[in-house]
Structure 1
Amino acid sequence: MTDWEKKAAAKRAQRDALLPQDLVQCDTSELDVLAFPAQSGNLSRQELEITDSQNITVLLDRIKDRTYSAEQVVRAFCRRAAIAQQLTNCLAEVFFDRAILHAKNLDDEYMRTGKPRGVLHGLPISLKEQIGVAGVERSFGFVGFLGRVVERDAAITALLVEAGAVPYCTTNVAQHLGFGAAVNNVFGETTNPSNRTLTSGGSSGGEGALIALRGSVLGIGSDIGGSVRIPAGFSGIYSLRPSYLRFPYEGTCNSQEGQESLRSVLGPMAASIDGLKLAFKTVLDLKPWRLDPAVLRMPWNEERYQLSEHGGGKNLVFGIMVDDGFVRAAPPYHRALDQVSSALKAAGHSVVEYKAYDAGMGYHLFGEVWTADGHKDLYDTLALSGEPRVGPLGSGPEVVQEEQVSVTKYWEIQYRKQRFLKAQLDHWNATEAVTGSGRPVDAILCPVSATAPQTLRGRQYYGYTAWCNLADYPSAVVPVTRVDQAKDPKVAREAYHNDLDRELWEMYDPEVYKNAPIGVQVVGQKDEDEAVIRMAEIVDAALKASRAS
Structure 2
Amino acid sequence: MTDWEAKAAAKRAQRDALLPKDTLLPSAPTDLDVSSVPATSGILSARELEITGTPSITALLDALKARTYSAEEVVSAFCRRAAIAHQLTNCLTEIFFDRALAHARDLDAEYARTGRPRGPLHGLPVSLKEQIAVRGVERSFGFVGWLGRVPESDAAITTLLVEAGAVPYCITNVAQHLGFGAAVNNVFGETCNPHNRNLTPGGSSGGEGALIALRGSVLGVGSDIGGSVRIPAGFSGLYSLRPSYQRFPYEGTCNSQEGQESLRSVLGPMAATVDGLRLAFKAVIDGRPWRLDPVVLRMPWSEERYRLAEHGGGERLVFGMMSDDGFVRAAPPYARALADVKAALETAGHTVVPWKAYDAERGYALFGEVWMADGHKDLYDTLALSGEPRVGPLGSGPETLLEDEVTITKYWEIQYRKQRFLKEQLDHWNRTAEHTGTGRPVDAIICPVSATPPQTLRGRQYYGYTAWCNLADLPSAVIPVTRVNPAKDLKVTRDDYYNWLDKELWEMYDPEVYKNGPIGVQIIGQKDEDEAVIRMAEIVDAALKASKSC
Answer whether TM exceeds 0.5 for this pair. yes
Q: Which amino acid aligns with 1:385?
A: S
Task: Report SS of the residue matched to 2:23.
Answer: coil
The 1:252–1:381 alpha-carbon spacing in structure 2 relative to 1, beyond 3 Å, is farther
Q: 1:396 Cα shift?
A: 3.7
Q: Which amino acid aligns with 1:494?
A: D
Task: Report SS of the residue matched to 2:310.
Answer: coil
Q: After superposing the two structures, state which structure 1 stretch, 517-526 or 21-30, moved more.
A: 21-30
Task: Report SS of the residue matched to 2:168.
Answer: strand
In the aligned structure 1, how far is the partner of 2:281 from the partner of 2:428? Answer: 29
In the aligned structure 1, how far is the partner of 2:265 from the partner of 2:546? Answer: 36
Determine the structure 1 residue equivalent to 2:216.
215
Q: Percent identity?
A: 79
1:479-518 aligned at under 5 Å gives the runs 479-518=480-519
1:200-279 aligned at under 5 Å gives the runs 200-250=201-251, 257-279=258-280
The answer to whether the 8 A contact 2:180-2:231 is kept is: no
The answer to whether the 8 A contact 1:370-1:394 is kept is: no
The answer to whether the 8 A contact 1:301-1:530 is kept is: yes
The answer to whether the 8 A contact 2:24-2:84 is kept is: no
In the aligned structure 2, how far is the partner of 1:176 from the partner of 1:507? Answer: 26
Q: After superposing the two structures, state which structure 1 stretch, 220-229 or 179-188, moved more.
A: 220-229
Task: Report SS of the residue matched to 1:49.
Answer: helix
Determine the structure 2 residue equivalent to 1:349.
350
The 1:183–1:251 alpha-carbon spacing in structure 2 relative to 1, beyond 3 Å, is farther
Deviations 1:163-207 (A, max 9, x none): 000000000000111111100000000000000000001100000
- Structure 2 unaligned segments of length 5 or more: list them: none
Determine the structure 1 residue equivalent to 2:167.
166
Q: 1:403 Cα shift?
A: 2.0
Determine the structure 1 residue equivalent to 2:54.
53
In the aligned structure 2, how far is the partner of 1:125 from the partner of 1:105? Answer: 16
In the aligned structure 2, how far is the partner of 1:134 from the partner of 1:229? Answer: 26
Determine the structure 2 residue equivalent to 1:283.
284
Determine the structure 1 residue equivalent to 2:34.
33
Determine the structure 2 residue equivalent to 1:414.
415
Determine the structure 2 residue equivalent to 1:19.
19
State the superposition RMSD in angstroms: 1.3
In the aligned structure 2, how far is the partner of 1:480 from the partner of 1:216? Answer: 20
1:5 and 2:5 correspond: yes
Determine the structure 1 residue equivalent to 2:449.
448
Task: Report SS of the residue matched to 1:74.
Answer: helix
Q: Which amino acid aligns with 2:440?
A: R
Q: Which amino acid aligns with 1:2?
A: T
In the aligned structure 2, how far is the partner of 1:452 from the partner of 1:235? Answer: 10
Q: Which amino acid aligns with 1:350?
A: T
Q: Which amino acid aligns with 2:14?
A: Q
In the aligned structure 2, how far is the partner of 1:146 from the partner of 1:191? Answer: 23
1:69-108 aligned at under 5 Å gives the runs 69-108=70-109
The 1:399–1:481 alpha-carbon spacing in structure 2 relative to 1, beyond 3 Å, is same
Q: Which amino acid aligns with 1:282?
A: A
Determine the structure 2 residue equivalent to 1:140.
141
Task: Report SS of the residue matched to 1:220.
Answer: strand
Q: 1:28 Cα shift?
A: 1.1
Task: Report SS of the residue matched to 2:400.
Answer: coil
In the aligned structure 1, how far is the partner of 2:97 from the partner of 2:262? Answer: 31
Determine the structure 2 residue equivalent to 1:331.
332
Q: Which amino acid aligns with 1:29?
A: T
In the aligned structure 1, how far is the partner of 2:430 from the partner of 2:485? Answer: 36
The answer to whether the 8 A contact 1:171-1:207 is kept is: yes
Deviations 1:378-436 (A, max 9, x none): 00000000001111587141333422100000000000000000000111111112211
Deviations 1:325-345 (A, max 9, x none): 000000000000000000000
Q: Which amino acid aligns with 1:23?
A: T
Task: Report SS of the residue matched to 2:12.
Answer: helix
Task: Report SS of the residue matched to 1:318.
Answer: strand
The answer to whether the 8 A contact 2:153-2:253 is kept is: no
Deviations 1:350-375 (A, max 9, x none): 00000000000000001000000011
Q: After superposing the two structures, state which structure 1 stretch, 461-470 or 255-264, moved more.
A: 255-264
Q: 1:230 Cα shift?
A: 2.0
Determine the structure 2 residue equivalent to 1:155.
156
In the aligned structure 2, how far is the partner of 1:405 from the partner of 1:43? Answer: 54
The 1:343–1:138 alpha-carbon spacing in structure 2 relative to 1, beyond 3 Å, is same
Q: 1:251 Cα shift?
A: 6.8
The answer to whether the 8 A contact 2:118-2:164 is kept is: yes
- Structure 1 unaligned segments of length 5 or more: list them: none
The answer to whether the 8 A contact 2:183-2:206 is kept is: yes
Task: Report SS of the residue matched to 1:506.
Answer: helix
Deviations 1:283-316 (A, max 9, x none): 0001000100110000001101000000000000
The answer to whether the 8 A contact 1:251-1:261 is kept is: no
The answer to whether the 8 A contact 1:128-1:207 is kept is: yes
In the aligned structure 2, how far is the partner of 1:419 from the partner of 1:24? Answer: 55
The answer to whether the 8 A contact 1:341-1:351 is kept is: yes
1:186 and 2:193 correspond: no
Q: Which amino acid aligns with 2:157?
A: I
In the aligned structure 1, how far is the partner of 2:492 from the partner of 2:223? Answer: 34
Give the TM-score of the pair, scaled to structure 2. 0.98
Task: Report SS of the residue matched to 1:191.
Answer: coil
In the aligned structure 2, how far is the partner of 1:396 from the partner of 1:335? Answer: 29
Q: 1:470 Cα shift?
A: 0.2
Aligned residues: 548
Deviations 1:191-244 (A, max 9, x none): 000000000011000000000000000000001112222241110000000001
Determine the structure 2 residue equivalent to 1:359.
360
Q: Which amino acid aligns with 2:177?
A: H
Determine the structure 2 residue equivalent to 1:380.
381
The answer to whether the 8 A contact 1:51-1:214 is kept is: yes
Q: Which amino acid aligns with 1:208?
A: G
Q: After superposing the two structures, state which structure 1 stretch, 174-183 or 222-231, moved more.
A: 222-231
The answer to whether the 8 A contact 1:251-1:264 is kept is: no
1:473 and 2:474 correspond: yes
